[in-house]
Amino acid sequence: MIGGHRHPAHAGDVDVDQSWRRRAAAAEAPRSGRAGCGRPRFAPAPGAPAARDRREPRERARLHLPPHLPISSCMPAELPSPAELLDLMPDAVCVVDANAVLLYASAAFERMLGHPRGALLGRPMFELVHPDDIEATREQAVRLMEGGGERHFRNRYRHRDGSTVDLLWSAQWLPRYGVRVGVARDISKLRRVERELEHRANHDALTALPNRRRFGELLGAALAEGERAEVPLAVLYIDLNGFKAINDAFGHPAGDRVLAEAARRLSAGLREGDSVSRIGGDEFIALLPACDAVGGRAVADAMCMQLQRPFLIDGCPVELHASIGVATYPADASDADALVACADAAMYAMKRRRAGSAGVLVDAT
């Protein structure tokens, strides 16, 4: 240094000095900006979008949110009340106390039964139940509150217009609150289909009479009741004489019409509570509960009288008669198969004696 001024030793000293200062400044500047992980932090440039959370794509996918909408748009300030949500359900939600008094009903209950909700609240639910289902519904409610019963059961309610509504219930007793909560679904359309299928499975398509399968169920129930009450019953085995000739002469469609008419006439000869079934071809069988042999022969006579009037086929009168065998419980047999066999044997005995004639009767004895 001369005269207080520093002079470089040579021309390159200036570049070296400036290079060193730049390195020192660079080494010092990042220290104030380092994060705990040792990586420098950079502030976003003005106007640049903020860095996205790594969880954001997953959250968008979960919410099915389009890319142009912010996640905050899916977070409403207020949600619908539980009552508003329940009113949107197609199933009805009801709350009753231990005495079945209605405390709450959702909008669907009003839609199902036609009664305004305001008019239903505070009323016993059993006032709305179909009379034939009240007792079973009471029993179900009691069992439910005792910790048993079925969580799912069916019953019928009366609509405001007088029609019947079939409901499927799912219910639970909440002892802490002293209430039963039930969810009801209208299954009226389903029950109509079920009843139609049940009818087809248990009835003859041509005559609409009970079929062989249904007759077996009716006979079994009648025998059980006869044994319990110690009362007799009668079975009538019926074969139409002359039907094959009609079928051959006029064809099957005409024969079907004659069978359908014969079924109506046989039914007209029955007492109240009796039934007649078609078990195949031109054979029928009648069940007469609480009836002895004398009463059975009287019903068979009435059936033969019904068949005496000529049948008309395209204006042409034709005659049709019946052979009818009678068997009674417990005089002739004590079980279903044996009872039917006795009536069948009695019918064939008649056919041999009076082939093609009007139904003169012979009983199994």
Mean pLDDT within 143-164:
91
Domain range enclosing 349: 203-363
**Can you tell me which residue has the tokens 């039907």?**
243
* Residue 175 sits in the same domain as residue 291: no
Instruction: Indicate the angle between helix axes 252-268 and 293-308, nearest 10 degrees.
Output: 140
Number of domains the chain contains: 2
- Looking at per-residue pLDDT, the higher value among 71 and 61 belongs to 61
Mean pLDDT within 159-188:
96
pLDDT higher than 90, residue 3: no
pLDDT the model gives residue 334: 92
Taking all residues of the chain, what is their mean pLDDT, rounded to a whole number?
Answer: 84
Kindly state whether residue 75 falls inside one of the protein's structural domains: no
One-letter amino acid at 21 equals R
Q: What is the pLDDT of residues 308-353, one digit of tens each?
A: 999 999 889 999 999 999 999 999 999 999 999 999 999 999 888 8
pLDDT higher than 90, residue 294: yes
Could you tell me the pLDDT band of residue 78, with boundaries at 50, 70 and 90? Answer: confident
Kindly state whether residue 8 falls inside one of the protein's structural domains: no
List C-alpha distances in Å: 38 to 32, 287, 337: 11, 98, 96
Alpha helix (H) ranges present in the chain?
13-28, 56-63, 82-87, 107-113, 117-120, 134-145, 188-202, 212-229, 243-250, 252-268, 293-308, 336-353
pLDDT the model gives residue 206: 96
- Looking at per-residue pLDDT, the higher value among 352 and 354 belongs to 352
DSSP string over 84-110: HHHHT-SSEEEEEETT-BEEEE-HHHH
* Residue 179 sits in the same domain as residue 273: no
* Residue 229 sits in the same domain as residue 101: no
Output the domain CATH number for residue 169. 3.30.450.20
**CA quadruple 50, 53, 56, 57: dihedral, nearest 10:** 90
* Residue 91 sits in the same domain as residue 224: no
Tally the C-alpha atoms within 13 A of residue 41's C-alpha that lie toward its C-beta: 9
Strand, coil or helix: 183:
strand
Alpha-carbon span 134 to 126, nearest angstrom = 6
* Residue 106 sits in the same domain as residue 207: no
* Residue 215 sits in the same domain as residue 327: yes
* Residue 102 sits in the same domain as residue 175: yes
**Cβ contact 260:282 at 8 Å:** no
One-letter amino acid at 300 equals A
Q: What is the pLDDT of residues 221-230, one digit of tens each?
A: 999 999 999 9
pLDDT higher than 80, residue 124: yes
Kindly state whether residue 20 falls inside one of the protein's structural domains: no
Kindly state whether residue 21 falls inside one of the protein's structural domains: no
**Cβ contact 137:126 at 8 Å:** yes
**Can you tell me which residue has the tokens 């042409």?**
316
* Residue 106 sits in the same domain as residue 209: no
Q: What is the pLDDT of residues 106-118, one digit of tens each?
A: 999 999 999 999 8
Kindly state whether residue 71 falls inside one of the protein's structural domains: no
DSSP string over 222-284: HHHHHHHHT--EEEEEEEEETHHHHHHHH-HHHHHHHHHHHHHHHHHTSPTT-EEEEEETTEE
Strand ordering across the sheet containing 102-105: 102-105, 92-97, 179-186, 164-174, 152-158
